[in-house]
Amino acid sequence: MPQSTPDIVSKLADKGEEALQKIAGSPAAQKLLDALTGLRDRIDDLQRRVSGVEALEKRVAQLEKQIKALQKPASKPAARKAPAKKPAAKK
């Protein structure tokens, strides 16, 4: 019985290797591999673009703060004084 266990394991390993070779040799497997490689490349490109957008969003936020600071009046204008009344002319 102890010898039958290694035989079963080795047979399973052989069958597994054969199955992997058949799968790897099929055109469908190659198409799938190509599709996955292309997907990885597109995801990498998308990640670079998103990081660029984040930098732009930060820059826009800074510019908006600067614009708000420029729009605020430095100080309130002084209230206008009413013109002084001229004394009435004596007759």
Query: How do the domains of the chain map onto residue ranges?
Result: 4-71
Give the pLDDT confidence of 40-55 residue by residue, as tens digits. Answer: 999 999 998 888 888 8
Q: Which residues contact 23 (CB under 8 A, 6 or more apart)?
A: 29
Identify the residue whose tokens are 């990081």: 51
Q: Residue 86: is its pLDDT beyond 80? A: no
Q: Which two tokens stand for residue 76?
A: 């309130």
Higher pLDDT among residues 75 and 51, named by residue: 51
Tell me the mean pLDDT in the region 10-24: 86
CA pair distance 25, 17, nearest whole angstrom: 12
Mean pLDDT, the chain, integer:
82
pLDDT at 1: 47
Q: Which two tokens stand for residue 23?
A: 């799968």
Asked whether the whole model's pTM tops 0.85, one would answer no
